[in-house]
Amino acid sequence: MPEQTDDRISIIMGDITIQHVDAIANAANPTLLGGGGVDGAIHRAAGPGLLEECRTLGGCRTGEAKITKGYNLPARFVIHTVGPVWRKGGKDEDVLLAACYRNSLTLAELSGVKTIAFPAISTGAYGFPYERAANIAVWTVREFISTHPSMERVVFVCHGEKAYRIYCETFEKDWADHPETLLAEAIAAHLLMIETSHNIRIRNREEIVRRIAPAVKNSIQALSFGISLNTWVAVSRMTGDMTVPDKVLLQIVEQMNKT
Ligand code: APR
């Protein structure tokens, strides 16, 4: 099957367990102790050593990622990420799915991974609508590699003809059709990362996304916003449920517009 590619993203149809890349991503569950679907296929192909290492990881939260060796797989590493279960879109599923790709890529880069293959996370047992998931996957990866040159190649491994066609159609859509959605998702994902890393909940998260996204011109500004807000949260030692004050948002936007 011909690969649909640009210089750093490939879309292929096949089995992720036989891909010769530095790392393959696994659509795991929070226990990280294996399951069906692609999780089961990866554990079967990797052998018992993978489960033994997974047992030492203490599980994984939805949207986050953990890394193990690849054992009998051609890939040196497996990056286990837990996708959201689809609940009709009302429980931050889009943001959590984007976080799966972004956190997996961040962890991969920190581990020296240059090439990584992804299955269609959450689109099987977790019931995420395939087109919607493909959209999030392609745009999140595109946004990540646009600011991370060390990631040389990302391969989307589609399991079947229909899946492959959907990814190719998504891939062809022009980025220009999506800036506001993509940047809103980037802002939302930065907020989720801040909440996760500081163990807080930002009460006015949706309002912040609605207000800030239109002011963001590109993913660099979205990143600048995320870094500034993360710094403010760290310095102000926020805990539990908190609200980001308007004046702080205005200061951050002013700062962001200087980048
Ligand atoms: N290679 C590539 N893709 C595959 C493979 C494979 N060998 N096997 C399955 N897939 C595809 C499926 O067709 C689907 O599109 O992976 C996608 C994800 O489906 P699931 O594996 O069901 O993963 P997910 O929907 O994220 O559900 C995760 O299922 O297996 C359990 O332990 C796992 O509880 C977790 C849940």
Ligand 1 centroid to residue 148 C-alpha, Å: 27
Mean pLDDT of 231-238: 90
- Which residue puts its alpha carbon closest to atom 6 of ligand 1? 15
Specify the pLDDT at position 1. Answer: 43
Please report, rounded to a whole number, the percentage of residues in the chain having pLDDT higher than 70.
Answer: 94
Q: What backbone torsions phi and psi does residue 192 show, to the nearest 5 degrees?
A: -65, -40
- 246 versus 115: the higher-pLDDT residue is 115
Ligand 1 centroid to residue 146 C-alpha, Å: 27
Please indicate whether residue 59, judged by its CB atom, sits closer than 6 Å to ligand 1.
Answer: no
Please indicate whether residue 157, judged by its CB atom, sits closer than 6 Å to ligand 1.
Answer: yes
Please indicate whether residue 28, judged by its CB atom, sits closer than 6 Å to ligand 1.
Answer: yes
For a mutational test of ligand 1's pocket, the pick from 38, 50, 82, i.e. the residue with the most ligand atoms closer than 8 A to its C-beta, is: 38
Taking each helix axis from N to C end, the angle separating 130-146 and 93-110, rounded to the nearest 10 degrees, works out to: 40
Annotation says 94 is catalytic: no
CA distance linking residue 72 with residue 74, whole number of Å: 7
Ligand 1 centroid to residue 85 C-alpha, Å: 12
H or E stretch at 196: helix 179-198
Mean pLDDT, the chain, whole residue set: 89
- Please name which of 222, 234, 214 lies closest in space to residue 189, comparing C-alpha atoms: 222
CA distance linking residue 172 with residue 219, whole number of Å: 20
Please indicate whether residue 37, judged by its CB atom, sits closer than 6 Å to ligand 1.
Answer: yes
pTM above 0.85, yes or no: no
pLDDT in tens, 84-140: 999 988 778 888 999 999 999 999 999 999 999 999 999 999 999 999 999 889 888
- Which ligand 1 atom sits nearest the alpha carbon of residue 42? 7
Torsion of CA 189, 213, 89, 155, to 10 degrees: -50
Domain limits of the chain? 4-173, 177-258
pLDDT in tens, 171-201: 877 555 555 667 777 788 888 888 888 889 9
Hey, which bits of 199-246 come out as E strands? 200-202, 240-242
- Which residue puts its alpha carbon closest to atom 18 of ligand 1? 124
- Which residue puts its alpha carbon closest to atom 9 of ligand 1? 38
Question: Active site residue: 7, 22, 39, 241, which one?
Answer: 39
Please report, rounded to a whole number, the percentage of residues in the chain having pLDDT higher than 90.
Answer: 58
Q: Answer whether residue 217 shows pLDDT above 70.
A: yes
> What would the CATH number be for the domain defined by 4-173?
3.40.220.10
